[in-house]
Amino acid sequence: MTDVSQLTEAQALEELTKLADELAAHDIRYHQQDAPSISDGDYDELKRRNAALEAAFPHLVRENSPSTRVGAARAEQFSPVEHGVPMLSLDNAFSNDDALEFDAKIRRFLRLSGAEEVAYTAEPKIDGLSASLRYEKGVLVQGATRGDGKTGEDVTENLRTLAEIPKRLSGQGWPDVIEIRGEVYLGHEEFASLNAANEAAGQKTYANPRNAAAGSLRQIDPKITATRPLRFFAYAWGLFSQPFAQTQWEALALLKSWGFQTTPESQRVISGQGLLDAYAAMEAVRPKLGYDIDGVVYKVDRLDWQQRLGFITRTPRWAVARKFPAQQARTILEAIDVQVGRTGAVTPVARLRPVTVGGVVVENATLHNADEIARKDVRIGDTVILQRAGDVIPQIVGPVLDERPADSVPFEFPTHCPCPLKTPLAKETTAAGVETVVRRCTGEFACPFQRIEHLRHFVSRRAYDIEGLGEKQLTAFYERGWVKEPADIFRLARDEEKLAELRTTDGYGETSVRNLIAGIEAKRAIPLDRFIFGLGIRHIGETTSTALARHFETVEHFIATAIAAAAQRPGAGAQALSELDGVGPTAVEAILAYARHPQALLIPAGASLEEHLRLAIPRLNTRARQSLAERFGDWPTFQAAAKAALSEMPGEEFREISSVDAVGPVAARMVAEFFGEDHNRAKVDALLAELSVIPAERPKTDTAVAGKTIVFTGSLEKMTRDEAKAQAEALGAKVAGSVSKKTDLVVAGPGAGSKLKTATDLGIQVMTEDEWLAMVGG
């Protein structure tokens, strides 16, 4: 890039114009679409270039310069909220020198004498999206996003669904009116499970926790936001009716006493050296936090000094963001392969020239789906930017277009499975009739890729957990044709010929062979929930498997019901109706009752389908009406669908499966479809000939914890997490992964962190592992 001092005025003007357009486009992608197309580092780079040009050519500064703009205008679907005090941005510092210069500038500005020390807070810079919460007389009355800094989006109802946002302030000393500012964010674990669930459902996956948090908050339907485990840290305020603190440090303590979470890693430090030490400390804790931070925010502690220091257009003089260097690297995208998962979902995977990002060597990265590749416009042969944030799997940010070779090849998504069957890939549509991005091989067990994935799933830790049969051995046995289906694993353990071959040809030692046999034999008796989970049926995860096992108790009962259900699956119309989001069993019931006995009604001419539904079937709630209106469009179409559904409703056994807690119509259909296939039934029979299934116990209802929701956190010393979970479930309790208002009890071991804190804050009963064991008599 040409040094700014070498540019002519015309060149500078041209570059500034280009940068303004580019930055505006990036702002919209980042703030409104939650889908940035460049890395934060590259964005900062553009901003820095813009600032350098503006400094060298001050008379060319545009009126709406990117340097004076914060964020991007709000999106149309939310009402505008004028912030009482603008939500500003922070200037960036990138090095120790920048940090020391920040301290020096403050001292110069305040004309401090050499002896006078400046105290700062050093707070983690949470990588989420900022929000402003307006409290009047201690009651939350409005919540907004940042928007363009002056006007944000009204997301009050969405913010209300966050457990960590108090609806009413506790403690005392809060001003009558105050805007509390902080960051909405999502933890790494929660991000990973959200993406996994979305992927399984064929829905949009998010590039990183920040986008996921933004996407989750900015949902039109707050009920969806409520299902996302969003969290909130408070760290600042806007408008306030009375002063309430003298320092930032004191204010943080007050925010905490009013019921907010504040960042536990914040420190109060003295002078330049304190700033540098705090940065080093934050870099060290960063990997252990469980959520993304992208730097440290330094703030002058004394609020009267903050006042004196004031603002420069869009950033305070009294604070600066010291950014971590992005964990990014460039490498060559050598190929794009497609991978076939256990359920046949075909996903593109980038094969990269190995490169180190954030201390880890990366060779592969998922590209998720065809849309993602098209959106990012990555081509084979491109130099790409790889990014690794925290514990999150590496992502391809995008190509470096300047370095695109002339012979780079755009990727064409295959139309057929790469397996020897070459089945045409099927597209999927949701119940609402929308085509998803998932492409699936329909070969199932006949597709060798799916078969090996099935086998891997079968022996995995949460299914049969067969010791001595790891990924490597399994793949080897599979490739040799020894293990083609789960039953073969058990046959192998008593196949003297093959075992002898392992000893002679493969050089297995006697101990290894013995361990392998013992590992397999140990699983010839398997609990029903693991048996069901091991089948690897789509949508039947651990929780659903446990629920099914508890309900059916014996394998015979489960299989007989599943086979009967296979013959009574709902017809397409009934399926479309009962699998719609927001249309539960009660709504379906109401629609069918109407279809059985339609009544002549006076419907105003020109009524929308939603309105028509409201008058004709009053038992439907708003959510159900909206969903139906979206799916069917007009009354005649809806009426025809409802009539058709009448004769196509699933039979009793299907409904029994679907009504099991945590199952529902989609998972029930998956079970029915699985048992509807002869080849699946044959595999199950072969497996049952090899092993016995231990019946599940019905959850107890007469124990101290029956029906309660329990969270285990911290390290347990007398039992593993899995054991603790099994024990609690056997006593009729539900075990959850995160603490919310619904939690009844938290069992906390040493090292318990945020979950314990949330529990204490919410006033939930907490006990130690020993107390738990004493209570349950373990």
- Based on the shown chain and the rule CB under 6 A, indicate whether residue 125 belongs to the binding site for ligand IVH: yes
CB of 89 to ligand IVH, least distance (A): 5
The smaller minimum CB distance to ligand IVH, of residues 44 and 611, is found at: 44
Q: CB burial class (10 A; 0-12, 13-18, 19+) of residue 481? A: exposed
CB of 745 to ligand IVH, least distance (A): 33
- Based on the shown chain and the rule CB under 6 A, indicate whether residue 159 belongs to the binding site for ligand IVH: no
- Based on the shown chain and the rule CB under 6 A, indicate whether residue 577 belongs to the binding site for ligand IVH: no
- Based on the shown chain and the rule CB under 6 A, indicate whether residue 72 belongs to the binding site for ligand IVH: no
Piece of 87-95, 205-213, 578-586, 718-726 that binds ligand IVH (CB under 6 A) = 87-95
3-state secondary structure of 609: helix
Sheet holding 139-145, edge to edge: 139-145, 129-136, 177-185, 231-240
- Based on the shown chain and the rule CB under 6 A, indicate whether residue 185 belongs to the binding site for ligand IVH: no
- Based on the shown chain and the rule CB under 6 A, indicate whether residue 130 belongs to the binding site for ligand IVH: yes
CB of 483 to ligand IVH, least distance (A): 51
Piece of 121-129, 473-481, 628-636, 675-683 that binds ligand IVH (CB under 6 A) = 121-129
Piece of 86-94, 445-453, 644-652, 758-766 that binds ligand IVH (CB under 6 A) = 86-94
- Based on the shown chain and the rule CB under 6 A, indicate whether residue 493 belongs to the binding site for ligand IVH: no
Per-residue mark of binding to ligand IVH, 609-648 (x: CB under 6 A)? ----------------------------------------
Q: Which of 81, 99, 126, 628 binds ligand IVH (CB under 6 A)?
A: 126
| Residue among 289, 290, 263 nearest 189 (CA) | 290
- Helical H segments across 469-524, by residue range: 471-479, 486-492, 496-504, 510-521
DSSP 377-394: T-EET-EEEEE--TTSPP
The smaller minimum CB distance to ligand IVH, of residues 88 and 642, is found at: 88
The smaller minimum CB distance to ligand IVH, of residues 306 and 544, is found at: 306
Matching residue, tokens 């699983």: 523
| Residue among 165, 167, 180 nearest 254 (CA) | 180
- Based on the shown chain and the rule CB under 6 A, indicate whether residue 247 belongs to the binding site for ligand IVH: no
Piece of 17-25, 85-93, 156-164, 470-478 that binds ligand IVH (CB under 6 A) = 85-93
CB of 45 to ligand IVH, least distance (A): 16
3-state secondary structure of 619: coil
Q: Which of 16, 19, 251, 297 binds ligand IVH (CB under 6 A)?
A: 297
The smaller minimum CB distance to ligand IVH, of residues 310 and 433, is found at: 310
Q: Which of 16, 53, 90, 711 binds ligand IVH (CB under 6 A)?
A: 90
Residue 238, CA atoms < 13 Å, CB-side half-sphere: 24
Matching residue, tokens 């130690």: 768
Q: Which of 209, 272, 316, 443 binds ligand IVH (CB under 6 A)?
A: 316
The smaller minimum CB distance to ligand IVH, of residues 210 and 669, is found at: 210
- Based on the shown chain and the rule CB under 6 A, indicate whether residue 89 belongs to the binding site for ligand IVH: yes
Q: Distance (Å, rounded) from C-alpha 726 to C-alpha 723?
A: 5
Q: Which residues are catalytic?
A: 125
Q: CB burial class (10 A; 0-12, 13-18, 19+) of residue 169? A: buried
Q: Which of 123, 179, 292, 382 binds ligand IVH (CB under 6 A)?
A: 123
Pairing of strands 346-357, 379-380: unpaired
| Residue among 290, 168, 147, 144 nearest 231 (CA) | 290
The residue number with the shortest CB distance to ligand IVH is: 130
- Based on the shown chain and the rule CB under 6 A, indicate whether residue 236 belongs to the binding site for ligand IVH: yes
- Based on the shown chain and the rule CB under 6 A, indicate whether residue 183 belongs to the binding site for ligand IVH: yes
Q: The dihedral of CA 472, 478, 479, 480: what is its sign?
A: positive
| Residue among 526, 559, 543, 541 nearest 684 (CA) | 559
The smaller minimum CB distance to ligand IVH, of residues 321 and 565, is found at: 321
The smaller minimum CB distance to ligand IVH, of residues 139 and 312, is found at: 312
Torsion from C-alpha of 540, 544, 549, 551, nearest 10 degrees:
-130
> Residue 294 in contact with residue 322, Cβ under 8 Å?
no
At 711, which helix (H) or strand (E)? strand 709-713
Strand ranges (E), 489-611: 525-527
> Residue 414 in contact with residue 346, Cβ under 8 Å?
yes
Residues contributing to the site for ligand IVH (CB under 6 A): 88-90, 123, 125-126, 130, 183, 235-236, 297, 316, 319, 321
